[in-house]
Amino acid sequence: MNEILKGIPASSGIVIGPVYIVGRDDFEVSRRAVSEGDVVSEIVRFEESLIQTRQELIALQRKIAQEFDQEQAQIFDAHLLVLEDRMLIEEVISRVKREKCNVDFIFQEVLKKYVNVFSRMEDEYLRERIADINDVGKRVLRILSGKKKRALSDFEEKVIVVAHDLSPSDTAAMHRKNILGFITDIGGKTSHTAIMAKSFEIPAVVGVEVATSKITAGDTIIIDGGAGIIVINPDAKTIANYKEAEDEILAKAKAFFSLKELLAETRDGRRVELVANIELPEEIPFLLDHGAEGIGLYRSEYFYMNRKDLPSEEEHYEAYKLVAEMMKPYPVIIRTLDLGGDKFISQLQVPRDMVPFLGWRAIRFCLARPDIFKVQLRAILRASVHGKLKIMYPMISGVEEMRQANRVLEEVKEELRTKGVPFDKNMEIGAMIEVPSAAVTADLIAKEADFFSIGTNDLIQYSLAVDRTNEKVAYLYEPAHPAVLRLIKKIIDDAHRNKIWVGMCGEMSGDPMFTLVLLGMGLDEFSMPSKMILQIKQLVRSVTMKQAQAITEEALTFSTAREVEKFSKKKLKELVPQVYDSL
């Protein structure tokens, strides 16, 4: 009764419910000896699993060909070839005979060997086959294990999902379904899974490490997302206490709604923009309800997830048109495809990088694949006549990439002009500043951009060399680190010296702990999960610019993140106790 686990708070709120355990996707099968007499049945089991996988793949391929087109369906040809690889099949069968152990284990071993060999190949095409081998391998192993994969959008009853890990696309599938909350063994505060949980207001705790080993099917648990606490099989008294705490949290959040129609301005009249980050257009009614005056970051890559093909230009266009119209007259900043890092898009068949966050991702990928990039740019430009759209490029690392991206954009504009297709000629084009080299050369990039948006989630991970998704180094992921504060100040100053505006769309902009410091630095726009907008508005409205500037000045004198945090907390308590109390 009442066993407590602690993890990293990812999304606040309290929920109580039964658990649903998600099995690991990459099965680790252990070796099990089989008797001489059972060797044949192991081989039969293997052959049947290959036949079943083949049937599943062909059915999937047919469905894709009907719903989309033949070309997309051909992706599965490579998967089918893996299933027919005689060398692989014979190696598995002969090892089962020789080693007399379970076929799942041998199959897994042989797959690993193949992946190893392919990953060392010079030929890029062959290296890319690793994704096919892994995909097919997982299917076969799942069939061998007798497990069924349940889609996270399928639940008929309300559950709390407990998983080793959830990909951002898994989390996207949870949207508005019967999922009360989730817990994962791994992950950090700004991993995209955590970010999605906040957007959907699903309480979540990540990086719990032992969640899947301590929690079992049939358990009831409480998640306190704000505190990062999980209670397993709580007693009646604990449940009653948490229900009371939940009511209190809801009442406090409700109190901020009185600010909805008020301006986001300081006591001496400095206006800032408080806008929202979204992953899916379905979030729009929700962000308007929280008083957002626009979208400062539309993570367009979610549009590419949970599907087997690439979206067509028409689909992109319809989606952006809808968002532009729904948000009119407010601005919407569409961040162009930011694939990579912890956001993996299966249909692109991109090989996984050894160090994904430093690899072939975001603008690097788009510049290498103008065919894919141009489809998106064309659709955004066409949709720009339906509202106020802006474009920003992710992961810009220097002036050259900014220029290259703008050249591609110019080509697309020229094509549209030739065809007489209208678009907003004054659309603003911005750069995300999230790579340290871009921060250091922000004065140069500012000359090529209409605005900046500071992506602190990545800026922190790159400047402090801390993987944002790794719970083991989460203690080093410090937004208040003096290095981060100095970089942010430099970016804002460089933008203003070059007469462009600057916003922030990393999670730091929705953290009340930093609002006054950022306000004092002169940040023009704060883009955050909608849920935080009204609290941040309360903070902005509670001070004068002079007070905020004094806070910034003092914050920059400290040598450690802990000192900065202590100081920020003190100021928050002193100046805006209602927000301090709501945290």
Minimum distance from residue 323 beta carbon to Mg ion (Å): 20
- Within residues 153-182, the interface with ligand PEP by CB under 6 A covers none
Tokens of 444: 């140069």
Rounded CA-CA distance 120/178 in Å is: 44
Residue 456, contacted partner among ligand PEP, Mg ion, none, CB below 5-8 A by kind: ligand PEP
Amino acid at 55: Q
Is 175 labeled as catalytic in the residue annotation?
Answer: no
* 284-309: b (≥16 Cβ within 10 Å) or e: bebbbebbbbbbbbbbbbbbbbbbbb
Residue 446, contacted partner among ligand PEP, Mg ion, none, CB below 5-8 A by kind: none
Minimum distance from residue 451 beta carbon to ligand PEP (Å): 14
List all residues 6 or more positions away from 430 whose beta carbon is below 8 Å from its beta carbon.
333, 390, 391, 392, 393, 449, 450, 451, 452, 453
Helix ranges (H only) for 256-312 are 284-289
Residue 505, contacted partner among Mg ion, ligand PEP, none, CB below 5-8 A by kind: ligand PEP
Helix ranges (H only) for 256-394 are 284-289, 313-327, 362-368, 370-383
Q: Is the dihedral of CA 210, 214, 218, 223 positive or negative?
A: negative
Residue 299, contacted partner among Mg ion, ligand PEP, none, CB below 5-8 A by kind: ligand PEP
Rounded CA-CA distance 9/371 in Å is: 40
Residue 506, contacted partner among Mg ion, ligand PEP, none, CB below 5-8 A by kind: ligand PEP
The count of other CB atoms within 10 Å of the CB of residue 6 is 14
Minimum distance from residue 575 beta carbon to Mg ion (Å): 31
Query: Which residue, 561, 394, 406, 550, is CA-closest to 484?
Result: 561
Minimum distance from residue 506 beta carbon to ligand PEP (Å): 3
Complex with Mg ion: residue 142 or 343, whichever CB lies closer: 343
The residues pairing with 273 across neighbouring beta strands, listed in sequence order, are 525
Residue 186 near residue 165 (C-beta atoms within 8 A): yes
Would you give the end-to-end CA distance of the chain in angstroms? 28
Write the CA distances from 539 to 214, 260, 289, 510, integer angstroms. 40, 13, 19, 11
Complex with Mg ion: residue 317 or 462, whichever CB lies closer: 462
Tokens of 501: 């505006």
Residue 225, contacted partner among Mg ion, ligand PEP, none, CB below 5-8 A by kind: none
- Within residues 286-345, the interface with ligand PEP by CB under 6 A covers 297, 299, 338
Q: Which of 79, 192, 316, 481 is catalytic?
A: 192
Which element (helix H / strand E) includes 331? strand 331-335
Complex with ligand PEP: residue 291 or 479, whichever CB lies closer: 479
Minimum distance from residue 369 beta carbon to ligand PEP (Å): 19
Residue with nearest beta carbon to Mg ion: 458
Complex with ligand PEP: residue 510 or 522, whichever CB lies closer: 510
Minimum distance from residue 498 beta carbon to ligand PEP (Å): 21
Complex with ligand PEP: residue 386 or 468, whichever CB lies closer: 468
Complex with Mg ion: residue 316 or 361, whichever CB lies closer: 361
Instruction: State the pairing for strand pair 220-224/14-22.
Output: antiparallel
- Give residues in contact with Mg ion (CB under 5 A): 434, 455, 458
Complex with Mg ion: residue 9 or 340, whichever CB lies closer: 340
Q: Which of 290, 316, 481, 505 is catalytic?
A: 505
According to the binding rule CB under 6 A, does residue 505 interact with ligand PEP? yes
Tokens of 563: 């000192």
Minimum distance from residue 481 beta carbon to Mg ion (Å): 17
Is 505 labeled as catalytic in the residue annotation?
Answer: yes
Query: Which residue, 172, 176, 170, 180, is CA-closest to 150?
Result: 170
Q: Dihedral angle at the C-alpha atoms of 452, 458, 462, 465, nearest 10 degrees?
A: 150
Complex with Mg ion: residue 342 or 434, whichever CB lies closer: 434
Q: Is the dihedral of CA 480, 482, 484, 485 positive or negative?
A: positive
Minimum distance from residue 505 beta carbon to ligand PEP (Å): 4
Q: Which of 7, 226, 294, 506 binds ligand PEP (CB under 6 A)?
A: 506
Tokens of 385: 């006549």
Tokens of 576: 């805006």
Complex with Mg ion: residue 311 or 455, whichever CB lies closer: 455
Minimum distance from residue 271 beta carbon to ligand PEP (Å): 23
Rounded CA-CA distance 239/16 in Å is: 8
Query: Which residue, 304, 299, 356, 330, is CA-closest to 505?
Result: 299
Amino acid at 239: I
- Within residues 433-492, the interface with ligand PEP by CB under 6 A covers 434, 455-458
Q: What is the set of active-site residues?
A: 192, 505
**Residues near ligand PEP (CB under 6 A):** 297, 299, 338, 434, 455-458, 505-506
